[in-house]
Amino acid sequence: MDRVSEQEYCDFVTARRGGLLREAYLLVGDVHLAEDLVQTVLAKVYVAWHRVRASEAPEAYVRRVLINTNISRHRRRRVAEVLTDALPDAADVAAGRSEAPSSTVVEALMSLSRRQRTAIVLRFWDDLPESAVAELMGCSVGSVRTHTARAMARLRAYPELRQPTTVTTMQETCER
Amino acid sequence: MAETDDEWIRPLLSWAADKIEVEAVGRDELIAAGRARLARRRVLAGTALTAVLAFALGGYAIAEGVGGGGRPGHVAVTVSATAATSSAAPGTLPAPAVS
């Protein structure tokens, strides 16, 4: 990679790393796993930077790498992800709020199947249309609708997510 | 777009994701981390390739009866590279070199 390309890559990563890390966190539910996933994605992007740069939408390209890498990770290491009843959330535990809404949100997300979770994150966090989600996930629009509907039904079963206290705490934190 | 009933999840996702603190990473650190990961991937790929080659060579040794212990119905656990590459006749071990 020449000097100019390397600089472009660095600029891209500096601008997008935060978003990728947050998306990865929603997909895997663990900060360290998310960092590992993003590092793997960035290494792949580094190798294929000439293709990423040439593509019309580099962000979509990288997002596709993220989704595919996450799927490959599950195929290779099915036991790597350990679900626990109480997710560690150091900041909230220290503040005396172990039942923090963020933990509940992540816990609820982790209760979904991988494809359901991917559909939810792409639809509601990335705000992508169903057709784009279907293309990224390599399935039909109908499948995306089914995954989304089932996931939402499951998320609605978490009353903590829809309680007014959750929303209040969320708003308070946002205002701080 | 999403159904209106489902919109409630959107701010919760944003809020949960925003809890992640992203540390600023310097250019050199970024390149070094990427190169280290690439090197690790190459080592893993090399290990996998070696394992595949060893497996293939083992299968060849069993099928052709070359190498020590290559009798039909028996699996040769180890494969002697010397035996496989020497000019010794199949089923025989090379004579030790005498100086």
Reduced DSSP (H G I as helix, E B as strand, rest coil) percent helix, strand, coil of chain A, to 5 = 75, 0, 25
Write out pLDDT tens, residues A103-161.
788 889 999 999 999 999 999 999 999 999 999 888 999 999 999 999 999 998 888 77
Residue with tokens 């930077």: A49
Residue with tokens 């559909």: A119
Which are the contacts of A23, defined by CB distance < 8 A and separation ≥ 6?
A63, A66, A121, A125, A126, B17
CA distance B53 to chain A (A): 21
pLDDT at A145: 94
pLDDT band (50, 70, 90) for residue A92: very low
Structure tokens at B48: 């996998």
pLDDT band (50, 70, 90) for residue A91: very low
Residues of chain A positioned with their CB less than 8 A from the CB of B38: 43, 46-47
Whether residues B15 and A105 touch (CB distance < 8 A) is answered with yes
CA distance A124 to chain B (A): 5
User: What is the C-alpha separation between A35 and A41, in angstroms, rounded?
Assistant: 10
Chain A residue closest in CA terms to B9: A124
- Of A5, A6, A17, nearest in space to A66 by CA: A17
Write out pLDDT tens, residues A127-137.
999 999 999 88
User: What is the C-alpha separation between A140 and A68, in angstroms, rounded?
Assistant: 16
CA distance B44 to chain A (A): 13
| Average pLDDT score over residue span A84-93 | 52
Higher pLDDT, B86 or A148: A148
Residue B80 has pLDDT above 80, yes or no: no
